[in-house]
Amino acid sequence: MLEIQFKKQMLSILVCAVSLALLPVTLHAEGMETGSTAARQAAEQKAALAKKAAARQKAAEEKQKAAQEQVQGAQTSVEDAQKVLEMTK
């Protein structure tokens, strides 16, 4: 009888020891998961910022192109006006 009680006690002590030994491993694994989530979020944020920067640059280029076309249109108008003035002389 005494031997059965001793085995039960040893089994419970063994279960506690194993669970305590594995506790740091599970805590470390949770920390790694959080780190990878943070890294993923940082990568998504970086990609979003790059996308916004590309959109801004494209909008600036389109605006500059429109301004150049407007200047060319104005120059064409001035040249046409000069031709009309030369013809009327």
Convert the pLDDT of each residue in 18-44 to its tens digit. 876 776 665 555 555 556 778 888 899
- Per DSSP, 63 falls in state H
Match 């194993």 to its residue by tokens.
18
What is the reported pLDDT for 77?
81
Handedness of CA 52, 58, 64, 69 (dihedral sign): negative
- Both tokens of 2, joined, read 């005494």
HSE-up of residue 28 (Cα within 13 Å, Cβ side): 5
Within its chain, how far is the Cα of 33 from the centroid? 18
- Both tokens of 7, joined, read 């085995």
Whether the full predicted model's pTM is greater than 0.75, yes or no, is no
